[in-house]
Amino acid sequence: MLKTIQTQSLKAGMYVVKLHGPWLQHPFWRTRFVVDQDDVDTLLARPVDRVDIDTDRGGDVDAAGNEDANGPMPCADDAAFVLAAGLPPKSGGAQAHAGMGDELARARLICDDGRALVEAMFGELRMGRTIVLDGARDLAARIDASVSRNPLALVSLARLKTADDYTYLHSVAVAGLMSAVARDLALPEQQRERAAIAGLLHDMGKAHVPPSILNKPGKLLDEEMALMRDHPAAGERLLRDAGLEDADVLHVVRHHHERMDGNGYPDRLAAEDLPVLTRISAVCDVYDAITSNRPYKAGWDPAESLRRMASWQGHFDPLALKSLVRVLGIYPVGSLVRLASDLLAVVVAPGDHPLAPPRVRIFFSARSRSHVFRRDVDLGASSDRIVGIESAQAWGFRDLEKLWIP
């Protein structure tokens, strides 16, 4: 049962489904979650005068406004991905100016050209030649322009790559993600330009790793892993030889596998030695890697990937990770979700802001295990809601992208 209560009556253990107030002025990534006492204290200090609670999923209030101690226990799954105390989107952040469908058509051309360019640069490096970077700079500018028009089109499309395409399209995807995060964080224009070119070039060192190791379907041997771990330093050397002098870009190339807790490679740098673009690159590189099909594993669901990344203590800069979540949404485009109605749907577009429920395309009934008539639903204006993330692989679904790519 849904109830609207004054924020002063909110108690730990209640399940909040809506916050009444300016969404930019509260720090929560979701509006549906079980609150603890810290959450209550945070809301009381913000301009949120009322909240809606679901008494079937959390505590209730009695007639006097007191907590009902006999209310249902909080659901751990619902509380698992509450990223509290996040920064609000900056005024200079990425804004969608083009429709998803329109920008996907342009993004497809960028991905095709990007794959060909990165493959050609790898080929030159493998033959011992010095690469020319003019084409990479031009492509980075096109990637950044696409992200400025719609931050989701290119990054969503570039995630859909085969295992054979991974090495080349991964660079395009990371460039788009870094550009989008840099815009969300309102970095200066020069830094945004560097973000895109750094993402595009960050894995050039893999050109010196034999394809048999890059595409190996099984576990790498120790000597093979050593070669893989040398690719950041190799990439820095190759790009210096090509005449690249930008210190920020070179730092990303060498250090995108460093960690905030100092346990990364190749130099085990401490957090204070990691500039902002390098911190952004670490988040974007991992997100695209774990959501992509690789020779040795299928990609994870994008929404589940963000949740797992949020649980890796000491790995990422928290502000960079929260910015990525702002860019992609809690449920990125292409996520397979289960609704309270036991229907399965694919996320086709984000809500009006990162906290808003997304728009989904319903296509399957989990209850009857059969396809249903496809229809689009804006969950922000629906009584239905997302109750969990599903695995396309477990359900045997293939080519889910056909449900959301025009």
User: pLDDT by residue (tens digit) across 264-293?
Assistant: 999 999 999 999 999 999 999 999 999 988
pLDDT higher than 90, residue 258: yes
pLDDT in tens, 76-133: 233 334 433 344 444 343 445 567 878 888 999 999 999 999 999 999 999 999 999 9
The pLDDT of residue 35: 75
Q: What is the mean pLDDT of residues 325-338?
A: 90
pLDDT at 365: 95
Instruction: Provide the pLDDT for residue 139.
Output: 95
pLDDT grade for 372, boundaries at 50, 70 and 90? very high
Give the residue-averaged pLDDT of 324-335.
90
CA nearest 56: which of 13, 93, 26, 15? 15
Query: Which pLDDT value is given to residue 256?
Result: 97
Averaged pLDDT for residues 52-73:
57
Structural tokens at position 313: 């203590």
For the cut 70, the answer to whether the pLDDT of residue 182 exceeds it is yes
CA 194 to chain centre: 20
Is 74's pLDDT higher than 60? no
Q: Tell me the pLDDT of the chain averaged across its residues.
A: 84
pTM: 0.76
User: Is it the case that residue 255 has pLDDT exceeding 90?
Assistant: yes
- Among 12-16, 292-296, 297-301, 353-357, whose mean pLDDT is lowest? 353-357
- Residue 346 pLDDT level (bands cut at 50, 70, 90): very high
The whole-number pLDDT of residue 318 equals: 93
Residues of the chain with pLDDT > 70, as a percent, come to 86
pLDDT mean over 38-60: 76
Q: How far apart are CA 93 and CA 26, in angstroms?
A: 18
Under the banding of pLDDT at 50, 70 and 90, the label for residue 24 is very low
What are the DSSP calls for 23-83, one per residue? Answer: GGGS--S-SSEE--HHHHHHHHTTT--EEEEETTTS-EE-TTS-EETTSPPPPHHHHTT--
Q: Is the pLDDT of residue 237 over 80?
A: yes
